[in-house]
Amino acid sequence: MKADFIDQLKDLGLQPQEPFAGKIYFEWEVPVGANIGKKVLIGTTVDDSYPAACPTPPHFKPLGSGWKEHTDSVSDSTFGQGWNNYPSDDSVITYQVGWRYWSRRFDEWPMSDKNAKIYMSHLRKLMMSI
């Protein structure tokens, strides 16, 4: 269930938010690759078919300058638009624009332990490819 994914992210020390049904985002400090040490919001869509179904490939929103992204399979994203609620600490526009989608499926998901820790390892592999 989606709630399990959220709880697993919390167990990893992250603070996931669900501003719209099934859309989960969290702040992450990139641990590897060309963006090491940079902060980014990671967004994904998860439903109650989790863990049988993998969360979607990542949407990301850099939280600073100098972000480097892969040259392949990255496009603008509307991930932050149409949420039911937005964080009150920043303006709504902060969350509505600037998201990018990286269409890198996690093909190994069916053979994995199917949990948030494994999903995060997928994100680390993606960051290593930059």
* Closest by Cα among 52, 54, 48, 60 to 22: 48
* 75 phi/psi in degrees, rounded to 5: -145, 165
pLDDT of residue 66: 93
Give me the pLDDT at residue 92, please.
82
* pLDDT of amino acid 51: 97
Q: Whose structure tokens read 């949420």?
A: 83
Tokens of 8: 């697993």
Q: Establish if 112 belongs to a structural domain.
A: yes
Is position 83 within any domain?
yes
DSSP code string of 69-95: --SSSEEE--TTSS-S---TTS-HHHH
pLDDT in the model for residue 120: 97
pLDDT at residue 40, rounded to an integer: 96
> Range of 38's domain?
2-123
Mean pLDDT of residues grouped by 10 in the chain (130 residues)?
Answer: 96 95 95 96 96 95 91 88 83 87 90 97 93
Count the domains in the chain: 1
What digits encode the pLDDT tens for the residues 90-109?
Answer: 778 888 989 999 988 899 99
71 found inside a domain: yes
Domain annotation covers residue 128: no
Position 129 in a domain: no
**How far apart, in Å, are the Cα atoms of 30 and each of 4, 8, 67, 82?**
23, 18, 11, 27
Assigned domain for 130 exists: no
| Tokens of residue 26, six digits | 């969290």
